[in-house]
A and B are shown apart, each in its own frame.
Chain A
Amino acid sequence: QAQLVQSGAEVKKPGASLRVSCKASGYSFTGYYIHWVRQAPGQGLEWMGWIDPNSGDTKYAQKFRGRVMMTWDTSITTVYMELRWLISDDTAVYYCARGGEVPRFDPWGQGTLVTVSS
Chain B
Amino acid sequence: DTQMTQSPSSLSASVGDRVTITCRASQSISRYLNWYQHKPGKAPKLLIYVASSLQSGVPSRFSGSGSGTDFTLTINSLQPEDSATYYCQQAYSSPFTFGPGTKVDIK
Contacts and interface: CB of A to CB of B under 8 A. Distances in A.
A62 B100 contact: no
B42 to A, nearest CB: 8
Question: Which bucket holds chain B's interface residue count?
Answer: 20 to 34
Given A45-B87, A102-B91, A108 B44 contact: yes
A95 B99 contact: no
B71 interface: no
B12 interface: no
Nearest to B35: A104
A47 interface: yes
Interface in A20-65: 35, 37, 44-47, 59, 61-63
Contact of A44 (B43, B55, B101): B101
Contact of B97 (A47, A106, A108, A111): A47
A15 to B, nearest CB: 25
B4 to A, nearest CB: 9
A7 interface: no
A61 B38 CA distance: 22
Question: Which bucket holds chain A's interface residue count?
Answer: 20 to 34
Nearest to A6: B43
A110 B95 contact: no
A97 to B, nearest CB: 8
A45 B91 contact: no
Interface of A: 35, 37, 44-47, 59, 61-63, 95, 97, 102-111
Interface of B: 32, 34, 36, 38, 43-46, 49-50, 55, 87, 89, 91, 94-101
Task: List the 10 closest pairs (A to B, CB-CB), nearest first.
Answer: A108-B43, A106-B46, A104-B49, A45-B98, A61-B95, A47-B96, A44-B100, A104-B34, A103-B91, A44-B101
24 contacts: A37-B44, A37-B98, A44-B99, A44-B100, A45-B36, A45-B101, A47-B89, A47-B97, A47-B98, A61-B95, A97-B44, A102-B32, A103-B34, A103-B91, A104-B34, A104-B46, A104-B55, A104-B91, A105-B36, A105-B46, A106-B55, A108-B43, A108-B44, A109-B43
